[in-house]
Amino acid sequence: MNLLRRLPPLLRALLAQALAFAGLLALAGLGLRFPGYVWVLLQTVLVVFLSRSLTLSPRWAFMQAALPFLVRALWAAPIPAWVYLALFLAMVLIFGGGLISRVPLYHASEDAWEKLAGLLPEKPGLRFVDLGCGFGGPVAHLARARPDAFFTGVEASPFTCLVAWLRCLPCANARIRLGSLWRTDLAGCDVAYAFLSPVPMPALWAKVRREMQPGSRFISHSFDVPGETPHRVIPVKGRESARLLIWDL
């Protein structure tokens, strides 16, 4: 059970739905017959119980409870099966990279881009990497602001990466790469920037300390590194508590 609790929330949610559904199949196998809405209620009760047992948060349990009702409502709707497949594929292509590492897709504000530009040291040939570059806004902006420096964006979601690549195409000093930030060597970077979520921060900090050279700079948008006080904090426009946290290594 402890092993299951360590799975990413999405996998735990799918597992809870599958186990609850297996429970319903077992009941049906025993010859029990109920009206459709009773099966939906049973699935809901079971899935909420299982979700909480798998330590999913109340927010997840709520979404889990809503899913059987949604499926029931859509069951008879005249929507072709390929629409669901297309929606699923679109979700994977746009958000897939962050599902396992539990990093959603959202964007730094233009104010954050400006302030990032002010944090780039005046070093010709400076190398900057955006770890999880999303649609490439920061990389494109910085590449235009600093033609003397080189900018790389790494993005794990294929469609998101394609948009970033197209956006940075006019900038000769910017490069967008499809891949995982965990496979990106930070040894040659003067500045590494990440806007992720609280979940990967301890592992990312360990990677930064392992790979980045003395004199380089790590900037996290909004998310702390537990137990590591940043050298500077600069508030930026955007969501509440949006800020840049800067560590000089």
- Residues contributing to the site for ligand SAM (CB under 6 A): 97-98, 101, 103, 105-108, 130, 132-134, 137-138, 154-157, 160, 180-182, 195-196, 221
d(CA 143, CA 119): 14
Is the CB of 58 or the CB of 158 nearer to ligand SAM? Answer: 158
Please enumerate in sequence order all residues whose Cβ is within 8 A of that of 239, keeping only pairs 6 or more positions apart, or say none: 106, 222
Specify the DSSP class assigned to residue 124: T
| Tokens matching residue 20 | 């609850």
**Shortest distance, position 106 Cβ to ligand SAM, whole Å:** 5
**Shortest distance, position 48 Cβ to ligand SAM, whole Å:** 29
**Shortest distance, position 200 Cβ to ligand SAM, whole Å:** 7
d(CA 244, CA 230): 9
Is the CB of 207 or the CB of 221 nearer to ligand SAM? Answer: 221
| Tokens matching residue 141 | 């902006």
**Shortest distance, position 16 Cβ to ligand SAM, whole Å:** 24
Is the CB of 43 or the CB of 101 nearer to ligand SAM? Answer: 101
**Shortest distance, position 183 Cβ to ligand SAM, whole Å:** 8
Residue 127: how many other CB atoms lie within 10 Å: 16
Position with the least CB separation from ligand SAM: 132
**Shortest distance, position 158 Cβ to ligand SAM, whole Å:** 10
Is the CB of 68 or the CB of 238 nearer to ligand SAM? Answer: 238
d(CA 113, CA 213): 24
What is the torsion angle, in degrees rounded to the nearest 10, for the CA atoms of residue 159, residue 6, residue 22 and residue 78?
-20
Is the CB of 68 or the CB of 200 nearer to ligand SAM? Answer: 200
Is the CB of 68 or the CB of 98 nearer to ligand SAM? Answer: 98
Cα–Cα separations (whole angstroms), residue 109 to 20, 100, 195, 242: 42, 25, 11, 9
